[in-house]
Amino acid sequence: MTTKNSLEETNSGWLNGFIGVLLFSGSLPATRVAVLEFDPVFLTVARAVIATCLAGGVLLAFREKQPARKQIFPLVIVAVGVVIGFPLLTALALQYITSANSIVFVGILPMATAVFGIVRGGERPKPVFWLFSVTGSLLVVGYAVAQGAATSPIGNVLMIAAILLCGLGYAEGAKLSKELGGWQVISWALVISFPVMLPLALIYLPASFEGISVRAWAGLSYVSFFSMFIAFIFWYRGLAQGGIATIGQLQLLQPLFGLALAAVLLHEKVSVGMFAITIGVILCVAGTKKFAR
């Protein structure tokens, strides 16, 4: 009975994780659209403020208890990683590189998440797990090089720093989700960051919003509601159910989903080699799922 329940929870973790990845896949294309007309710092703080209003309302509606004192520091780590660090650094990077080029860097995010999951969460996947994980990451990184992602050193450095902070935030949030719950973690992380983000939003508030296109507003709306809040509900729940290192490998699919969106919505050039890489990455995800535990 225990084994059956454990299997059902793991499968549920894969489903929740997949939904989270699917929603996250639109983040960089949406950021690219928004950052063309909004200041990167304003975009970062505005999305956090908007998401905090939503998260705060949900916390009040469900009358959630405040986090314990020992949970505050982990929540700060989550806030630094996914509320401030990743959004800001990616917004800055997208001033130098296209969303298609930035998306492929997400291919190393599963490795970063798995490593932080081991350091912070004490997970110990089987050795063959790392074979599939590294292979999947190399496929995506190799594809990035083939697509010319190394054209801007500044953009590359910013994306790598963003990925490291994001991996830390994912791992810390997943660990905390077992105590607080998935949506509660991102909600409290947003609330904790609010005293910093709101003043910054007012400081960087544009003198006028005249001339801002519907596309830019749509980009801001997506990263505020979906990237900054809704996607995390599924993602942290999936990581808590199936394991940080295990479910984190679903992120190998995110670059491919994101590239497809960049090609369709932004008309950015994407090589047909993407399909071959997609097959390889899917096989690696299947391998990590089989040998994770």
Residue 144 has pLDDT above 70, yes or no: no
Higher-confidence residue: 60 or 100?
A: 60
pLDDT tens-digit readout, 209-267: 999 999 999 999 999 999 999 999 999 999 888 888 788 888 878 877 887 888 888 77
In a domain, 276, yes or no: yes
In a domain, residue 281? The reply is yes
A 10 A CB-CB count for 286 gives 12
CA–chain centroid gap for 102, Å, is 13
Residue 183's domain comprises 10-291
> How many domains does the chain divide into?
1
For 148-194, what is each residue's pLDDT tens digit? 655 677 887 898 899 999 999 998 998 898 899 889 999 999 999 99
Structural domain includes residue 168: yes
CB atoms within 10 A of CB 287: 18
